[in-house]
Structure 1
Amino acid sequence: MTDKTRPDAARLSRRAALATGAATLALPLVARAQAPVVKVGLIHPVTGALAGAGQRCRMGGQMAITDINAAGGIKAMGGAKLEALLGDAQGRPEIAASLVDQMAEAGASGFTGCFASALGLAATQAAAKYNIPFSIDSGIADALTTRGLKNVFRFFPNNTTATTDAMAALDQINRKAGSPAKTAVIVHEDSEFGTNSAKLQAAALPKIGIEVKALIPHATPTRDFTNIVLRIKSEKPDLVVITNYENEYVLLARTLVQQRVDLVSTFSISGGGFSLKFAKEAPAVAENMIDFNHWYNPKDPRALAFRKRIEDSGQIFSWEYPFGYFAVRLLADAWERAGSADKDKTIAALAASTFSDHFMPYGPTKFTDGQNAGSHPVALQIQKGDIKVIWPEAFADAPAVFPRPKA
């Protein structure tokens, strides 16, 4: 995906980057002379297997910087403008950590990132050495905020919250349909994100009357799901519960249809490939798939305007955009209330945050050990080429289609 909002930046040449093994950190060519500047490090995988999602998170962050600066910057700091430091983590935790070191040396006052939990674990640990605040955008693993790092904050839900809420949603949807789903197979990618998710799901599903028949891990990337799907087919589950990244999610879903696996439904939690792009490109595969994920409040006009803004720029809307956007806005709100980019003052302002200027299906922010206790995902379903909220009722804009109609 082309990043049309990216500012001009000095970069290592491709040859130099390959020769030195260095991660590329984009810095401005010309220092701004007028207003004071607050530098924000945006660390994402913008090349490699996770590039698409990483680019979308980055663009969301850059949109927030553009909006904040256009509205007068950080007013409590004399109109200080935000300036992005852009780093490509390439899907490698050691590079994510090294980018923190580079950006800290370049004067970063805060960080956002890193899309993938494994990258976020490395980057937040590195940022803790400098006591620089880190606002997680995408990265759901509980460990991001349970290690006692005082500089790390996550506006969005963690894995435990997502799984707990997802089980409540699945239970209610299943019971309302007469409980056709009684068994499940869990398929997950094998890094921190998927492994942690599968463990939580395996413990939670039996509590809502769904037997787990198998847990099947896979690598990222995986190019062929034929053998995994044949194993699923042999287990004859009612549900396949999926937790993985974009390419594998779509390929697994396609293979399930190609192999004619008879299911009540596919249900994912934070499914990386559950998207409008998927809905439009593979309607016969995607229609009526259910995901429990982050999404906007469809009843908030600001959310619809934000989506239109993305689509008017030629992009397909996805949840990564508000991830990146509000991760930056959370930091900016702390700087505004602190009246300073001082690390300790910013961290104190974040810890006391009641940030509510957003269009997510949450209330005001309330952090407990760096985790926003008021944030919750929602149940989503692809219906007629669009994504609809089907649970909870307070935010729903369509009823659930469950079980999935037979082809």
Structure 2
Amino acid sequence: MADVTSSTKINSGGLRRRDFLATGAAALGLGITGFPAILRAQAAPVKIGLIHPVSGFIAFSGTQCRAGAEMAIADINAAGGIKSMGGAMLEAMLADSQGKPDIGAAEVAKMTEAGVNGIVAGYSSAISLATSQEAAKTNTPHIVDVGVSDQIVSRGLANTFRFAPGYGKVAQMAVANLDTINKAAGSPAKTAMIIHEESLFGTGTAELLTKQLPGIGVEVVEVIKHANPTRDFTNIALQIKSKKPDLIIPANYYNEYVLLARTLRQQRIEAKGIYSVLGGAASSYQFVKEFPEAAELIMDCNHWYDPTSDLALARRKAAEAKGLIYTYEVFLAYNAVAFLADAIERAGSADKDAVNAALAASTWDQHGMPYGPTKMVNGQNEGAQPVNTQVQKGIIEVIYPEEFASAKVIFPMTM
């Protein structure tokens, strides 16, 4: 058998093994500062699992989430990685949930077996419920980027955190802001119809609004649920036309939202306002640019960045330079990764207990969002809040709260 120490096999650095060993031995006598770069130990990467629906009926939003998360990883690595861990780089592990909770959970199981250190998932509420539950089996830190169901953070899972608001907070602010808008205009809106998609997100939002709207003098005359996907909203539009509500309130994902809004325009259905709550397209420049007439004057209570923040504006510019549309999926997923990375930095370790403790104690504020101070309670950032936007002449303007507003509300709308 050949003596491996005298082999002339070439290693990845281009040195013969005998020369490599000789160089290393000489360097040991020089002390660590003289150690050649080829022999310095590299910090092990920190593996971040990104699980999003990049195929299926919500693929646009899932792809946007993945893009925002990958931007954050690239920015953090370019800034030196996790410095408290010797400059460890973040390494993305990618998975496609296909819009299905069971597949999302299965991808978490695969990632934990592969040694993932933390997970960011999963856009929809149903997927986020499944992925966080699976991650809890191994106590793997799990950050929810967009999923709004409050069930996600009400189950007592010590590994699950959401930096953005849930639909309880969103619905509360949506109703309060609508009350302000309506009263300022002389209370022209007295009735509403809610059109929502069938999953946990749409159903839960509709239930909250149905309970809260009568408290501000707005009667909910009908609630209509639709399937995912839905390719024709003609019948729903006719039902709206027959009821003649003052307000049309959609709560659905991007494709269905766009089709509903276009159908309302084509059918010339008049209302005093289209007032979205977590509208899948109402706060998206893709919708605004592709269908400006259908989007004009639509209001939305949703996730949005702080238009007065230099940090937020710089991130938007960077995203658009990459050809991205700066939607809420992009900046929420970016912040989910950055929030997790900050906790790992402060923990000085990828140890799961240490990272979860750091997340629970976080006061991270480098988010560029219109939020109050970060405060985690049972995994939910209590400082998170939505804003109200309105499309005005092709621009998505913030209209409430006033401290973040970039324009005055226009209400009632004219079709």
> TM-score, normalized by length of structure 2?
0.89
- Candidates 216, 225, 237, aligned match of 2:233: 225
Cα deviation for residue 229 of structure 1 reads: 1.0
Aligned residue number for residue 329 of structure 1: 338
Distance 1:156 1:394 in 2: 19
Amino acid at match of 1:282: F
Tell me, yes or no, if the aligned pair for 1:356 and 1:363 is still in contact at 8 Å. Answer: no
Tell me, yes or no, if the aligned pair for 1:36 and 1:79 is still in contact at 8 Å. Answer: no
Cα deviation for residue 333 of structure 1 reads: 0.7
Aligned residue number for residue 224 of structure 2: 216
- Candidates 356, 360, 370, aligned match of 2:379: 370
Aligned residue number for residue 58 of structure 1: 66
Please give the per-residue CA displacement for 1:28-79, whole angstroms capped at 9, x wherever unaligned.
xxxxx83321100000000111111101111111111011111111111111
Aligned residue number for residue 149 of structure 1: 157
Distance 2:215 2:138 in 1: 43
Amino acid at match of 2:310: P
Distance 1:313 1:385 in 2: 22
Amino acid at match of 1:102: K
Distance 1:207 1:370 in 2: 30
Distance 1:89 1:185 in 2: 32
Aligned residue number for residue 185 of structure 2: 177
1:400 aligns to 2:409 (yes or no): yes
Please give the per-residue CA displacement for 1:122-166, whole angstroms capped at 9, x wherever unaligned.
111100111101011010011110111111000000110000011
Tell me, yes or no, if the aligned pair for 1:188 and 1:194 is still in contact at 8 Å. Answer: yes
Aligned residue number for residue 349 of structure 2: 340
Cα deviation for residue 364 of structure 1 reads: 2.8
Q: Match of 2:372, SS? A: coil
- Candidates 353, 357, 361, aligned match of 2:362: 353
Cα deviation for residue 265 of structure 1 reads: 0.7
Aligned residue number for residue 254 of structure 2: 246
Q: Note the residue ranges of structure 1 that are not aligned, 5 or more in a row.
A: 1-32
Amino acid at match of 2:359: L
Distance 2:78 2:318 in 1: 16
Cα deviation for residue 385 of structure 1 reads: 1.0
Distance 2:363 2:309 in 1: 19
Aligned residue number for residue 172 of structure 2: 164
Tell me, yes or no, if the aligned pair for 1:43 and 1:86 is still in contact at 8 Å. Answer: yes
Cα deviation for residue 326 of structure 1 reads: 0.4
Please give the per-residue CA displacement for 1:293-330, whole angstroms capped at 9, x wherever unaligned.
11111011111111111222222221111111000011
- Candidates 302, 309, 315, aligned match of 2:318: 309
- Candidates 383, 391, 406, aligned match of 1:382: 391
Cα deviation for residue 88 of structure 1 reads: 0.3
Distance 2:103 2:315 in 1: 32
Aligned residue number for residue 75 of structure 1: 83
Tell me, yes or no, if the aligned pair for 2:390 and 2:409 is still in contact at 8 Å. Answer: yes
Cα deviation for residue 363 of structure 1 reads: 2.7
Distance 1:219 1:84 in 2: 33
Please give the residue correspondences for 1:173-322 in structure 2 after superposition, counting only pairs within 5 Å.
Answer: 173-274=181-282, 275-322=284-331
Amino acid at match of 1:316: I
- Candidates 133, 141, 151, aligned match of 1:133: 141
Distance 2:141 2:313 in 1: 30
Please give the per-residue CA displacement for 1:232-277, whole angstroms capped at 9, x wherever unaligned.
1111100011100000000011111111111001111111112111
Distance 2:403 2:280 in 1: 25
Q: Match of 2:404, SS? A: coil
Amino acid at match of 1:343: K
Cα deviation for residue 225 of structure 1 reads: 0.5
Aligned residue number for residue 28 of structure 1: none
Q: Match of 1:130, SS? A: coil
Distance 2:372 2:245 in 1: 37
RMSD value, Cα = 1.1
Amino acid at match of 1:67: D
The count of aligned residue pairs is: 375
Percentage identity across paired residues of the two chains: 56
Distance 1:383 1:276 in 2: 12
1:104 aligns to 2:112 (yes or no): yes
Tell me, yes or no, if the aligned pair for 2:119 and 2:142 is still in contact at 8 Å. Answer: yes
Tell me, yes or no, if the aligned pair for 1:96 and 1:119 is still in contact at 8 Å. Answer: yes
Q: Match of 1:365, SS? A: coil
Tell me, yes or no, if the aligned pair for 1:112 and 1:135 is still in contact at 8 Å. Answer: yes
Tell me, yes or no, if the aligned pair for 1:294 and 1:377 is still in contact at 8 Å. Answer: yes
Tell me, yes or no, if the aligned pair for 2:43 and 2:85 is still in contact at 8 Å. Answer: no
Tell me, yes or no, if the aligned pair for 1:390 and 1:400 is still in contact at 8 Å. Answer: yes
Q: Match of 1:266, SS? A: strand
Distance 1:54 1:372 in 2: 22
Distance 1:96 1:58 in 2: 14
